[in-house]
Amino acid sequence: MSSITPADVEVGAQGDGGAPRRPGRVSLGGLSLNLRSSGIYIAFALIVVLFSVLTDGALLTPQNISNIIVQNSYVLILAIGMILIIIAGHIDLSVGSVVAVTGALAAVLMVNMGLPWPLALLITLVAGALIGAWQGYWIAYFGIPAFIVTLAGMLLFRALTLTVLGNRGIGPFPDQVRTLANGFTNGYFGNIGLGPLGGADLFSLLIGIVAIAGMAAAQWRSRTARRSYGQAVEPFVLFVLKLAAGAALILFLVVQLARFKNLPWVLVLLAVLVLGYSLMANRTVFGRQIYAIGGNLQAAVMSGVKVKSVVFWIFVNMGVLSAIAGVIFAGRLNQAGPTAGNAFELDAIAAAFIGGAAVQGGVGKVVGAITGGLIMAVINNGMSLIGSPSERVMLVKGAVLLAAVAFDVWTKRRAGASR
């Protein structure tokens, strides 16, 4: 259950879009629609329970939770960018190669040229943006399908990586970059005892409490605002129960992490990204236009959406996120290697589709993609804990992806038939 935190942060953030919608959907489409939007979270919970049992609880130990987060952070970051692209009805196959080339660039700047790491990081992010702009130009303004442009990009940027690195890796990275990728927050206030659970970092616990308080406050504010506009809100008891469940999840995660080595920096980064991008997707004009484009491109054009510009910028964004993932991946291995990021694009795409994105576009959530990524992460981790060979892990992941999309298509067809 631990790693659900990002999801929960998001629920707090966009609650006023999600909550009142549900009763409307239920009354129209019956249970299936409700299932379609929440099925992914139920599936995730079941998978976590399943592997907790199979691993005798090893899955949810403090260290393992920390590992799952740190080991999958870069794919989750990529999934955030990917879900936006998929919502708009496009795809990006190049992110793995972009991770490699930006990691290599960061290594050259920091290690070979000895630039100060913040400057090198900034240059790397700008490079990521330029790569995204390059691909976005061909897709949005030149009109080449994203599939082709990014397939070419996959080759181009891998070639560029090999050109820069040759056959060897570049490292080691400055300590700060390694800390960002692999390290934990400092225990500023020391440890406190938690009785039978042993010692835990006070600072991490405080962060957790602040997060819970923030979530509760945001939820409460949107609830009162909604009521003042005369909108229907869910019953107070249900509201409190939901809040309590969310708080319990965050608390569990934070306590477990505080008992290990405090909060991983990548978790902090991830939480900020998920919160920020969820807000962007739901609450900004730009985010709404992404959904409009994917939902009905022609109607979006005829409603005055600057389709080309929106598509261009989501690819620029993907480039920047790929660069962040590239630096974190290289920092974690402490070396930028020529094979870095191999097949990351497939993990990111799978995360988006498992997380409820529609193949035709127009549907999907940032939290969904994160949950999809975590489902794969837990399957990976859990199966390796019970000693499954890697081919079996791959088999299961493939089956899960197919099942998730099949479920989506099936619910849609049922919804269509009942029309």
Does the N-terminal peptide bond of residue 172 adopt cis geometry, omega within 30 degrees of 0?
yes
Interface residue with another protein among 186, 231, 339, 390 (CB under 8 A) is: 231
CA dist 334 and 394 (Å) reads 27
| Closest CB to another protein among residues 242, 288 | 288
CA dist 325 and 74 (Å) reads 5
Instruction: Decide: is 301 part of the binding site for another protein (CB under 8 A).
Output: yes
| Closest CB to another protein among residues 27, 167 | 27
Q: Which stretch binds another protein (CB under 8 A): 25-33, 130-138, 198-206, 381-389?
A: 25-33
**Could you identify the residue written with the tokens 């409307």?**
24
Instruction: Decide: is 155 part of the binding site for another protein (CB under 8 A).
Output: no
Report the candidate in 21, 60, 47, 85 with the shortest Cα–Cα distance to residue 281: 85
Q: What is the CA radius of gyration of the chain?
A: 21
Question: Are 6 and 274 a contacting pair, CB within 8 Å?
Answer: yes
Instruction: Decide: is 225 part of the binding site for another protein (CB under 8 A).
Output: yes
Instruction: Decide: is 304 part of the binding site for another protein (CB under 8 A).
Output: yes
Instruction: Decide: is 167 part of the binding site for another protein (CB under 8 A).
Output: no
Number of residues that bind another protein (CB under 8 A): 41
CA dist 140 and 320 (Å) reads 18
How many residues would you count in the chain? 419
Binding residues for another protein restricted to 347-386, rule: CB under 8 A: 358, 362-363
Q: Which stretch binds another protein (CB under 8 A): 102-110, 297-305, 348-356, 368-376?
A: 297-305
Interface residue with another protein among 38, 163, 186, 284 (CB under 8 A) is: 284
Beta carbon of residue 340, minimum distance to another protein (angstroms, whole number): 35
| Closest CB to another protein among residues 236, 419 | 419
Report the candidate in 86, 129, 137 with the shortest Cα–Cα distance to residue 312: 137
| Closest CB to another protein among residues 303, 390 | 303
Instruction: Decide: is 187 part of the binding site for another protein (CB under 8 A).
Output: no
Does the N-terminal peptide bond of residue 264 adopt cis geometry, omega within 30 degrees of 0?
no
Report the candidate in 218, 232, 204, 269 with the shortest Cα–Cα distance to residue 69: 269
Instruction: Decide: is 45 part of the binding site for another protein (CB under 8 A).
Output: no
Q: Which stretch binds another protein (CB under 8 A): 20-28, 70-78, 162-170, 192-200?
A: 20-28
Question: Helix 95-107 and helix 146-165: axis angle, to 10°?
Answer: 30
Beta carbon of residue 239, minimum distance to another protein (angstroms, whole number): 17
Interface residue with another protein among 242, 261, 283, 414 (CB under 8 A) is: 283
CA dist 323 and 334 (Å) reads 16
CA dist 404 and 396 (Å) reads 12
Report the candidate in 271, 273, 267 with the shortest Cα–Cα distance to residue 80: 273
Interface residue with another protein among 137, 239, 252, 286 (CB under 8 A) is: 286
Q: Which stretch binds another protein (CB under 8 A): 102-110, 227-235, 332-340, 388-396?
A: 227-235
Instruction: Decide: is 343 part of the binding site for another protein (CB under 8 A).
Output: no
* Lookup: tokens for 259: 């008992």
Instruction: Decide: is 295 part of the binding site for another protein (CB under 8 A).
Output: yes
Instruction: Decide: is 20 part of the binding site for another protein (CB under 8 A).
Output: yes
CA dist 327 and 105 (Å) reads 9
Question: Site residues (CB under 8 A) for another protein?
Answer: 16-17, 20-21, 23-25, 27-29, 225-226, 228-232, 282-286, 288-289, 291-292, 295-296, 298-306, 358, 362-363, 419
